Structure 1
Amino acid sequence: MTTTEQIALKVRKDIIWSIYHARSGHPGGSLSCSDILTVLFHRVMSSNTTKEDRLSDDYFILSKGHAAPALYAATATKGLIEAAALKTLRGIDSPLQGHPDVQHLPWVDVSTGSLGQGFSVAAGIAKGLQLKNSPNRVFTLLGDGELQEGQVWEAAMFAGHHGLSQLTAIVDYNKLQSDACNSEICNLEPLTDKWQAFGWQVIEVDGHDHQQLMAALTADPTSTQPKVVIAHTLKGKGVDFMENMPLWHGSVTLSEQQYTDAMTSLGCSLAELEEYHNV
């Protein structure tokens, strides 16, 4: 049986492969959220019973839209994208654009890229489900640098006020953004206190520990409160020369040697590298 850890490793390899061929993309934050997306898609979100072209009857919104390579690689493991299509990332006429686009992919619930907006739409969807007495849930993934957007805290206040208990936000808390550490640009701490002040249930986890992620994402929300999972992660996770380095936030072009080194760091054998080459 394939474990979620094995799936997440495949997701990371596919992220590097697709960004290498695109000659552009955001590897750092895509690698840091691979475990989150894998556990969410494979173990947490409900099965799809309504449409074949949907991921789930629940909703997922990638508010940190620049991590699209991770979204595409993770959904490929669910069969919504052909693995070979990952090679077309950011290509002209490719459905796999640099940010998720509802016009190209029927299972994308919201086009994202402008930071903060995806989270706001997620709160709106959760309010709609609440009004309809629908049991479906809404999950949204935010970057930590994204939390510097004022719109995020307007939506957080709205969700707390309306008791949107069907809404779960996940913060990919890798402590870095495009230029430097968050703490050097606009410090987020005390982050837990901030969310609690807006009326949210807060759970902090190791964002690379699948058991912790599973427990947090399936925990029953406290009465009438939305939930936020603060997932402590490592930017560039799995690729030694990318880890904890703002340089690899994006948009970067990988040389052939950097691509090979990154895939080797992720455990690719020569035979596996050849398989990727032949796709």
Structure 2
Amino acid sequence: VLDCSRQNNPEIFDAARVSLGSLGVITQLSLQNVATHNLKRRVWFEPIEQLIERFDEYAAQHQSFEMYYLPFSDQAMAISIDPTDEPLRPRGAEQDNDAVMGIKKLRDYLSWFPAARRKLMNLATEDYEPEEAVDVWNRIFPSNRAVRFNEMEYHLPREQLMPTLRKVRERVESQHHEEFFPIEIRTVKGDDAWLSPFYGHAVSGSIAVHRYYVEDPLPYFADIEPLYQPLAGRPHWGKMNTLKAADFASRYPKWKDFLDVRASLDPDGRMLNPYLKQVFGIG
């Protein structure tokens, strides 16, 4: 049994904070939290080109900011979240799941006629009234994701986020008329956990593409993923990707250090499954 912190076994601590279950069994965890507080959430639509141009401005203004690109629409959704002392105004009923399935119906009926699909998508979003809600943090941040999907999310150098989004948009709208799921774009503050996708970055930019769960995601993801490779993009560990051990070794400065710690704690590989053996290049 090892007690790990920044003071005790600090190398194991830095490795274990993102360890993919490969170092051993974590039996107890202490978190440093902040006091319960209220947040204000605002949701609105803007023309996508305008939102791309203003993304950096919005990201600097808000504690949390993300946008959703809607394929075959000229509008994009923006969501900001900030601490507030304003009076409570709870969120209304969740609309996201119905909206996604409505977009799917448009795809089903009009994937063969992109111009009509775009016109109807624009009509559906141009009169959207901005939503505002104020509540305790745990009623503001979570979202109900009842519509199932597969996902591939890559974390990129922050300055490459918007240029890469433009490439993703061009690829989707020229090659993937079957796609309807919104694409999520956000920023994430860097950290120092060895295998964190955000290790060593002040801020990372993230792009997540999705495919409805009954539809094969592999051809779509295989066409989008190469756009990230020249940027040494790091995938979200819990989502789909096709990188190999050599790719990860070139993108994580502490990769070898992690493998050394892993081998010292689990020399017989008892904590490894077939996927982790592939990721780590073992056996």
Q: TM-score range by the shorter chain?
A: under 0.3
Report the TM-score, using the length of structure 2 for normalisation. 0.27
Higher helix share: 1
Higher strand share: 2
Report the TM-score, using the length of structure 1 for normalisation. 0.28
**Which protein has the larger Cα radius of gyration, Structure 1 or Structure 2?**
2
